[in-house]
Structure 1
Amino acid sequence: MRNLLEMTWRDLLFAHWTVPPETVAETLPDGLAVDTFDGDAYLGVVPFVMSDISPRGVPFGLEFGELNLRTYVTVDGRPGVYFYNLDADDRIGVAIARALFQLPYYRAAMDIETRGEGTDREVRFRSRRTSDAPDARFDARYGPDSDFSTPDPGSLPAFLTERYRFYTTDRGGTVYYGDIDHEPWSLAPAWADIETNTLFAANGFDRPGGNPLLYFAAPIAVTADRIRRFAGPE
């Protein structure tokens, strides 16, 4: 894999709700199929901070908050992530990401406060979309609730987090993919007090019922490749 960008992801919360597969299937572009675990599809809300973002070998050091709504898909059997939105607090970063990765990035105003370290970490993450797009707001406090460990292969946490490819499409319906690379996640069961979350409504979903499955991730170094046109099984 060629590395176009290098970065670190930190203060990341995975918040996942189960939904019927058909709820996701009807929203996906042609060529993408719902990926399920024990018959369930998932919608995930993921707030985090991207730091030390730079082209490979160039100490540029861009940093901003990001908030995405995502689900899990396969293309010809290859698993990946499909993003409904990626809101970010950086005008330059949003423009570059839209141009390079064909992803639905939107500009947002974010306020991120942190305190403590390790299992005592606490994050206050507030986001308000400022782009000319459906209003999207998020306001939550969250942090780890136990010790960190690597998900077991084949487990639900691994299904939800160990994804090293995203898929996207252009206006003509052509499917593209982008690969990322990093060490396996180190996750802790998490707590979260989500006061506001309008990401589902902004993307045309009813709010899922039940409580979300929550994991907090330790900081992780990530590399990302450019997108490529999907031409069939590899």
Structure 2
Amino acid sequence: MTKPDEPLTASTPRVVRRPVLSQRWMDVTFLHWPVPPAAVAPLLPPGTRPDVLDGSTYVGLVPFRMEAVAFGRGPGLPYLGTFPETNVRLYSVDGRGRRGVVFLSLDAGRLLPALAGRAAFRLPYHWASARVRRAGDRLAYTGRRLTPGRAAGYRLAVEVGDRLDTPDELETFLTARWGLHVDWYGRTLYLPNDHPAWPLHSARLLRLEEDLISAAGLPAPKGPPPQRPARPGRPRPLRRPGGGVDSPPRTAGGTRPAGRATGRPTRRPQPRPAPAPRRRGGRRRAVRRRGRRPLHRVVHHPGPHRAPEGSRRVARVSRAPVTLPWPRRTGRTRRARPVSRRRRVP
């Protein structure tokens, strides 16, 4: 018996108590094109059907940067747990009404995570040479698949816009997905996920060149996506380059102009204090007494003036072995023995 589809929610309806994997997605960009449901139905796992909104389903191109991949709730893996990734995905629903996504391809910038995803979860991972660059409010994604015989790549750039306080129904339909449908060795599995709500921002598409969608078995999209791409940012307000949140620009002298509300004067840079003069004396030297091996001693000199009569200099012998030349002119060096006692030098 087929159950009705679950409603669209901004938070997960199924809390994950014991996660198998944990990860963090950063600098994500969502690009979507509407496609006929009949075109994507053969690409879905058995027991699932295309998830439809207003008579259309969508194919998504989602580049991002993966960080802190870990097993369970453990710490993130160094090096292997951080890499760029780009996936092509569809939207599905099963007989129990659970909404999810189906990945047609996943291009990862690390070889070992791609092999582990293929072996453990039967996900269509591909090893790729990918890169994510950020300059202010602009994000650039580039990548090229390294899998032999399956050449494909992408190159796109977006400019992040204003924060979306209340996402509409389409934006919630495309981003609030709380599970994954995968064909796992002849069985269709549903893998739930749990994460906070995306802080979505509008974005303007600056450049788009890709052939990942056509390589996945779908017709190549014609033109840019019809709707605005949504980019989830970090859970904090956007910062302007070189300043704080909505901060006034810096002047040529490195200071900020006076504020309108407070009327505080402009701070002038203070000159740095002159460095203190170097103190004479206290230098290290090697003292060699006649008839004995050379020893390295730290001698505290009395300074440029002469020592008063009757005073003695105390030479502290260093414990660290040093290299001193032999008295002979052979060019060889010998390692001195560390001495831990004090000697009085006349």
TM-score normalised to structure 2 length: 0.59
Between the aligned partners of 2:132 and 2:105, the Cα distance in structure 1 is 19
| Native 8 Å contact 1:150 1:186 kept in 2 | no
Over 3 Å counting, the alpha-carbon distance change for 1:210 and 1:159 in structure 2 is same
More strand by share: 1
2:106 matches 1:93? no
Cα RMSD between the aligned structures?
Answer: 1.7
Between the aligned partners of 1:52 and 1:27, the Cα distance in structure 2 is 31
1:57 to 64, 74, 80: 74
| Native 8 Å contact 2:163 2:201 kept in 1 | yes
2:236 matches 1:216? no
Aligned counterpart, 2:145: 129
| Native 8 Å contact 2:121 2:184 kept in 1 | no
**SS of equivalent residue, structure 1 residue 100:** helix
2:204 matches 1:191? yes
2:177 matches 1:156? no
More helix by share: 1
- Give the drift of 1:41: 0.8
Over 3 Å counting, the alpha-carbon distance change for 1:144 and 1:175 in structure 2 is same
- Give the drift of 1:132: 2.6
- Structure 2 segments unaligned to the other structure (5+ residues): 1-15, 236-346
Aligned counterpart, 1:231: none
Between the aligned partners of 1:32 and 1:147, the Cα distance in structure 2 is 34
Aligned counterpart, 2:194: 181
Aligned counterpart, 1:36: 52
Structure 2 residue identity aligned to 1:37: L
**SS of equivalent residue, structure 1 residue 99:** helix
Task: Flag the structure with larger Rg.
Answer: 2
Aligned counterpart, 2:23: 7
Between the aligned partners of 2:208 and 2:221, the Cα distance in structure 1 is 15
Structure 1 residue identity aligned to 2:213: F
Aligned counterpart, 2:8: none
- Structure 1 segments unaligned to the other structure (5+ residues): 221-234
Aligned counterpart, 1:138: 154
- Give the drift of 1:193: 2.5
Between the aligned partners of 1:91 and 1:37, the Cα distance in structure 2 is 36
**SS of equivalent residue, structure 2 residue 163:** coil
| Native 8 Å contact 1:81 1:163 kept in 2 | yes
Structure 2 residue identity aligned to 1:162: A
Over 3 Å counting, the alpha-carbon distance change for 1:15 and 1:135 in structure 2 is same
List per-residue Cα deviations over 1:70-112 (Å, max 9, x = no partner): 0100111211000100110001211222223221111000122
